[in-house]
Amino acid sequence: MKRRLVILTEIIAPYRIPLFNMLAGSESVDLHVIFLAETDANLRDWPVYKEEIKFSFEILPSWRRHIAGYNLLLNRGVGEALAAAAPDVILCGGYNYIASWQALSWARSRRLPFLLWSESNRQDLRRGLAPVEFLKGKFLDRCAGFVVPGQSALEYLAAHSVEQEKIFTAPNAVDNDLFAGAAGAARQDERGCRRALGLPERYFLFAGRLVPEKGVFDLLSAYATLDESLRRQCGLVFAGDGAVKGQLEKQAASISPGMVRFTGFAQRERLAQYYALAEALILPTYTDTWGLVVNEAMACGLPVILSRAAGCAADLVMENRNGLLVSPKDVPALAAVMTSLGRQPELCRTMGAESMRRISRYSPSEWAKGVVRAVETIVGERG
């Protein structure tokens, strides 16, 4: 018997579409997705790949403002949309929108199981305000179950006294085949691709938003302290855009010798080309609920240098096997591991192969299985 599952989530993010498509193909779930908005143009330059969607969905009317660093999103018709969808169970992606609280109240009034898709972790700097933590605790107490992407999110819920049997792991994933295929094509025409993109022969890669909390200034500082001979051989490429791009470019201009490139925002196919030709991905973030660029880079066969603050660190990185971990804001340690990998290109290739093997367990299929397991267990307990 199929269970009618309604997922309530913020926007039509391109990396979520393969996951939802896989879930919609399950024999156990009848899926409908309610998006609170189509996209957030102020933060994301993603296109909306509606032509790839193979699941039932709708987009609620919304009003959005970014105020003093906070993302305020208001929706109309939450209750009406839920009533029309007639769910057996609801999976809500987060608790920081008014619509999330409306959906929770709607489900409780009808005695329907309400699951939280939670990516919060104990390393996340976006937590700690007493009123926020109080409201978060109230929200968690009212959920019948939880879906988490990995170990750090599980430990976060355990620290909030959530019972282990209520927590189900659906490993965070991207379309591994898409990235691996695009990377393979780029490597087949490495010389032409490198020339077309204006890339150094060898380079470290950062992919993501250019904002201070991603550790981008630390990364540039670490690169500047590398031995001159290594900087002549190996460049640094920033694939992304953001508020501090101009400051980074100004700081990078003073690094000599050195090769620092800023590509601007790259869509997924172009991004796979940057991954394909790099020595390693570096994500020295101060705070990140997960870090899907790590999944993408590993699917493209890259080793990763990753901050321990990233939510995915505990799951995706086996130190000295497919990557290296550093503490956030530790520039000397970051420079040391960059030197280690930069001096050993053969080790980079070996680690990259291990990345591809490891990331195969983090697929849309495995994510869908985790969600199905949560739905079947929680709804089954309710009879």
254 and 267 part of one domain: yes
pLDDT at position 380 is: 81
pLDDT > 90 fraction of the chain, expressed in percent and rounded: 87
pLDDT digit string (tens) for 128-183?
Answer: 567 777 888 899 999 999 999 999 999 999 999 999 999 999 999 999 999 999 99
- Cβ–Cβ < 8 Å for 134, 113: no
pLDDT surpasses 70 at 68:
no
pTM of the model: 0.95
355 and 370 part of one domain: no
Q: HEC states along 301-363?
A: CCCEEEECCECCHHHHCCECCCEEEECCCCHHHHHHHHHHHHCCHHHHHHHHHHHHHHHCCCC
- Cβ–Cβ < 8 Å for 200, 224: no
- In sequence order, the β-bridge partners of residue 32 are 6, 56
- Cβ–Cβ < 8 Å for 15, 292: yes
28 and 160 part of one domain: yes
pLDDT digit string (tens) for 21-62?
Answer: 999 999 999 999 999 999 987 766 778 899 999 999 999 999
- Cβ–Cβ < 8 Å for 223, 251: no
| Residue where the block lists tokens 């979520």 | 16
What CATH number does the domain containing 195 carry? 3.40.50.2000
Predicted confidence band of residue 126 (pLDDT cuts 50, 70, 90): low
- Cβ–Cβ < 8 Å for 20, 103: no
Encoded tokens for 182: 């695009």
The residues near 117 (Cβ < 8 Å, ≥ 6 apart) are 7, 9, 91, 92, 93, 94, 146, 147, 148
162 and 43 part of one domain: yes
202 and 351 part of one domain: yes
105 and 214 part of one domain: no
| Residue where the block lists tokens 């470019």 | 249
Encoded tokens for 37: 């908005």
How far, in whole angstroms, is CA 79 from its chain's centroid? 29
110 and 190 part of one domain: no
pLDDT at position 383 is: 57
- Cβ–Cβ < 8 Å for 310, 291: yes
Please tell me the distance from the alpha carbon of residue 262 to that of residue 245, in angstroms, as a whole number.
Answer: 8
269 and 147 part of one domain: no
User: Structural domain of residue 338, as residue ranges?
Assistant: 176-359
- In sequence order, the β-bridge partners of residue 60 are none
The residues near 277 (Cβ < 8 Å, ≥ 6 apart) are 186, 187, 190, 193, 194, 197, 199, 203
157 and 187 part of one domain: no
Preceding omega of 257 cis (within 30 degrees of 0): yes
141 and 207 part of one domain: no
254 and 328 part of one domain: yes
Please tell me the distance from the alpha carbon of residue 160 to that of residue 29, in angstroms, as a whole number.
Answer: 29
263 and 337 part of one domain: yes
Task: Please state the domain count of the chain.
Answer: 2
pLDDT at position 67 is: 75
